[in-house]
Amino acid sequence: MAHEKQHTVAGEVEVQGIGVHSGEAATLTIRPASEASGIVFVRTDIENAPAIPARLDNVTRTELGIGLGADGVEVLTVEHVLAALAAAGVDNARLELHGPEVPILDGSFSPYLEALGRAGRTAQSLPAEIIDVGEALTVGADPEASYVVLPRDGLLISATIEFDHGAIGRQHGAFRIDQDGFARDLAPARTFGFQADVEALRARGLARGASLENTVVLGEDGVMNPDLRFPDEFLRHKVGDIVGDLALMGARLNGHIVANRPSHSGNVRLARAIRERHDRGLRAHTIDVRDIMKHLPHRYPMLLVDRVVEFDPGKRIVGLKNVTINEPFFSGHFPDHPIMPGVLIVEAMGQVGGLLLMDAVENPEDKVVYFMSLNNVKWRRPVVPGDQIRFELTMTGLRRSVCKMRGKGTVDGQLVAEAEMTARIVDR
């Protein structure tokens, strides 16, 4: 099975501006990052600041924007750059922020999408994680906001917003989310706010950098800016925010989202519901020995994997080996004190890793995995009849047909063996 590859930016790019809420000057530098690292923020204006992955677990606030934090350090208003990264198909990047808040620029997503265009994009070796919506999911965010997610190839967002203001009222639209569609239909749409709220917001430390240069402002008599970029610019910006908030799942998404009165807090609840259901499905992904035999060339007595219980394609796999007294090697390997040979423990670990690799190539039935090297192999305790070994393999690199993996085996939660493996995928 073929996978889309992960991508990072080809070079670094810098943007400067002020934060819409803090009003403080900031510089954001987007740099390439290694595969499987995801999108990570680093505050360069704070000494020894921790890396802050752009993931749901790190969300600190959702009022009028998304804040992320780690160890007491925050980055604010991240949704616009995250939406641009997602639309551009960038999976891994290091975002160095000198200042407390990502610059608002002109209030739209376009400056970030244009910056990413200048930086370029380059493919990496590992497959991108893609969440496919398999069946309908309904998420209620609050008494008014609600979401339904439906299966679909690609990402489509249908949204309805409603505000008690003559310039907005009720607006509805559906938008296909790919790089061209996002750039054309959503990226130019600017953030918006109400003049009547400004004084109260600024008293709470919000909207201090907002102006007609970066925000569509709605006064009592209508829009205070010279003009709108779209008649439904408000709706389009809300849909762009959904794209940025969903990027906190750390994966691409295939599905149709139907959003009614979306908000940042609602979008985060939606993202958590999609991510949690996907992860439950991965944990419940069980492959028994009959399916294993379709992918591995080994047969008795050398087939040493009984079941696969967790599977994240192209990234991670967990397999089980039940060790019984009837294993043929026990008749000659310390028969009076049966211990599973260490080399066979590593062989079983390699077979589990082979199953992970078979999903990362086209036409796996025509391929076979040959292991080229083992490093840092350690056996920690004996494995005896009655034990069940849980092997967990994580892919750490895939370049052309050569793969690197890190594996460990445990029994009842105790480490029994670990190794770093390099393998080559070849034609049968």
List active site positions: 264, 333
Which runs of E-coded beta strand occur in 269-343?
287-288, 307-312, 316-322
Tokens of 305: 């994997």
Closest CA to 3 of 421, 366, 398, 420: 398
SS3 83: helix
The structure tokens listed for 318 are 């967990």
Residue 101, Cα to own-chain centre: how many angstroms?
A: 22
Cis ω for the linkage preceding 338 (within 30 of 0):
no
User: Do 114 and 30 contact (CB within 8 A), yes or no?
Assistant: no
From residue 414, alpha-carbon distances to 84, 309, 389, 408 in Å are 44, 18, 10, 10
Query: In this structure, how many other beta carbons lie within 10 angstroms of the beta carbon of residue 112?
Result: 26
Tell me the CA distances in angstroms from 217 to 127, 196, 240, 264, 360, one per residue in order.
43, 10, 18, 19, 50
